Amino acid sequence: MSNDALNIHWFRQDLRLEDNPSLCEAISKGRVLPIYILDDINSAKDKLGSASRWWLHHSLVSLNKSLEGRLSIYSGDALEIIKDITKKHNISSVSWNRCYEPWRINRDKKIKIELEKSGVEVNTFNGSLLWEPFNILKSDGTPYRVFSPYYRKGCLNAPPPRKPLDKPDLGSLIDVTEQSLSVNDLDLIPKIKWFDQMENLWVPGEDGAIKKLHEFLDNGLLGYKEGRNFPSQKNVSQLSPHIHLGEISPNKVWYSAQLKESVDGIEKDLAHFLSELGWREFSYNLLYHFPSLPRENLQKKFDNFPWQKNEKFSEKWKKGLTGYPIVDAGMRELWQTGYMHNRVRMIVGSFLVKNLLLHWHEGEEWFWDCLIDADLASNSASWQWVAGSGADAAPYFRIFNPISQGIKFDPEGEYTKKFLPELKDLPIKYLYNPWEAPADILEQANVKLGENYPEPIVDLKESREKALNAFDQIRIK
């Protein structure tokens, strides 16, 4: 090993080359050792779920290929690993792009202190958000708790997001991979092989992310504002799993979308898409300022909510066997693809917490394990939103009716029948309420309620009344 000083770039949730501020900074300083650390020790309960780990495996394979096999990979306590690397090599600086999960913030502060004590320079950058959470505050210096003023007054009046950076020249990267693990050594692929379909649907990695971005901008952005509500339409970007692990930056997405502003009739669609990027920012803003978000109700009155414990209901919800077709289609989409359409996420979430009266934690934990885009910020903020317990939450008494939601947002039944093939021959009139279909219609469609498709596990009207009565118990008069 040469005595020339080395600079570490630590890949984390930025598994890309383009628009990577930390990587660019490290390369500007000279020779660079690129590393990745799977830190399941400090993450504790917040370590990646099974679907995200499957994605991470393929994303790291893709990244290492882009780095021509020079990514050094480690597993364990990041502080100890980085200290060990700096002892073995003549390291002059370590740089990384900031992460905003509470456990990472706490760990990274310790790492920075230790490195600087030993004379190693530390540089950190914003590589995963359009606006830093500590920069977007109300005029009194407190954090926003309502989305619209956060985005319109806070974000859109702040300095614009930085422009994306080009891919750097990788000629100065150093290869010490003989001292590190391989991607396979991280053992990220789940033991239960339920992800066969996912392999045919997704292309993890930076190239897959950029391809997905251009497909959406060319074919899905026009009509996005309305079309995004219909799960059978192509007006969703499906970029969230790529943004989740930083295969593409929100800055790249933000500015690439704006290149479409000259397309006739796209103005409202573009503004709405950008505001959805704003929702992701808002979730991180909440997590940063309220680090207990994944565990505790933001609205404390919900601490007294009479949630039920019902293992049977929980299992039927997870397996898509509730007897309500739009709910079951969504839960089966999740299991088969690692993804769920956003409108359907709201429907299945409302059903869990309001019709089944199960705690939002149960939904949050299941989504955390099954979603390929399970960001801690977005997952916990969204579940608190649907439960009514979060910031700017949907009112608890807003209870999605799975029959009317199915009729309105999947009017031809294309999405529902795709994931519930046992109902494919049922006329649309009865698709979302098969228990009301006459016996001869059910027979013609080969639907045997209670056998090949379940009876409803709760009555909608009764469960809605129960939910409203429960809410009345905690409502502040």
How far is it, in rounded angstroms, from Cα 409 to Cα 228? 10
CATH number of 248's domain: 1.25.40.80
Are 107 and 139 part of one and the same domain? Answer: no
Distance in angstroms (rounded) separating the CA atoms of residues 10 and 96: 5
Is 353 within the bounds of a domain? yes
Q: Are residues 304 and 388 in the same domain?
A: yes
Say if 191 falls within a structural domain. Answer: no
Residues 274 and 321 in one domain: no
Q: Note the residue count of the chain.
A: 477
Q: What is the DSSP string of 91-156?
A: EEEEEEE---SHHHHHHHHHHHHHHHHTT-EEEEE--S-SS-TTT---TTSPPP-SHHHIIIIIIT
**Which H or E run contains 269?**
helix 267-289
| Residue 258 falls inside a structural domain | yes
Q: What is the pLDDT of residue 2?
A: 41
Question: Is residue 115 located within the same domain as residue 143?
Answer: no
- My answer on whether 109 and 10 are in the same domain is yes
- The single residue listed with the structure tokens 């660079």 is 32
The pLDDT, as a whole number, for residue 477 is 38
Q: Which of these three, 256, 289, 322, is where a domain ends?
A: 289
Residues 120 and 150 in one domain: no
Catalytic residue among 279, 310, 365, 435: 279
Hey, is 72 helix, strand or coil? strand
Is residue 147, in this structure, part of any structural domain at all? yes
For residue 168, being part of any structural domain is answered with no
Cβ contact 247:209 at 8 Å: yes
Q: Which of 342, 365, 433, 435 is catalytic?
A: 342
CATH classification of the domain holding 366: 1.10.579.10
Q: Does residue 183 lie in a domain region?
A: no
| 119 Rama sector, left if φ>0, alpha if ψ -120 to 50, beta otherwise | left
pLDDT tens per residue, the chain (477 residues)?
Answer: 344 789 999 999 999 999 999 999 999 999 999 999 999 999 999 999 999 999 999 999 999 999 999 999 999 999 999 999 999 999 999 999 999 999 999 999 999 999 999 999 999 999 999 999 999 999 999 999 999 999 999 999 999 999 999 999 999 999 999 999 999 999 999 888 888 889 899 999 999 999 999 999 999 999 999 999 999 999 999 999 999 999 999 999 999 999 999 999 999 999 999 999 999 999 999 999 999 999 999 999 999 999 999 999 999 999 999 999 999 999 999 999 999 999 999 999 999 999 999 999 999 999 999 999 999 999 999 999 999 999 876 777 889 999 999 999 999 999 999 999 999 999 999 999 999 999 999 999 999 999 999 999 999 999 999 999 999 988 753
Q: Which of 132, 276, 296, 365 is catalytic?
A: 276
Q: Of the listed 121, 307, 422, 433, which one is catalytic? A: 307
279 given a catalytic annotation: yes
Query: Cβ–Cβ contacts within 10 Å for residue 411, how many?
Result: 12
Statement to judge: residues 332 and 464 lie in one domain: yes
Out of 10, 202, 383, 385, the active site residue is: 383
Q: For residues 88 and 119, state if they share a domain.
A: yes
Domain that includes residue 22, residue range: 1-124
Domain count, the chain: 3
Residues 152 and 247 in one domain: yes
Active site residue 229: no
Domain end among 289, 318, 334: 289
Q: Are residues 45 and 133 in the same domain?
A: no
Instruction: Determine which one of 10, 54, 360, 385 is catalytic.
Output: 360
d(CA 256, CA 107): 34
Residue 348 lies in a domain: yes
**Among candidate residues 344, 342, 343, 334, the one with its CA nearest the CA of residue 372:** 334
CATH of the domain at 9: 3.40.50.620
118 and 137, same structural domain?
Answer: no
Exposure letters 457-475 (e unless 16+ CB within 10 A, then b): bbebeebbebbeebbeebe
Domain final residue pick, 76, 104, 124: 124
Q: How many whole angstroms separate alpha carbon 220 and alpha carbon 196?
A: 26
Give the tokens for residue 87. 């002892």
Active site residue 360: yes
Residues 278 and 143 in one domain: yes
Does 276 participate in catalysis according to the annotation? yes
Tell whether 208 is covered by a domain: yes
Q: What's the pLDDT at 476?
A: 54
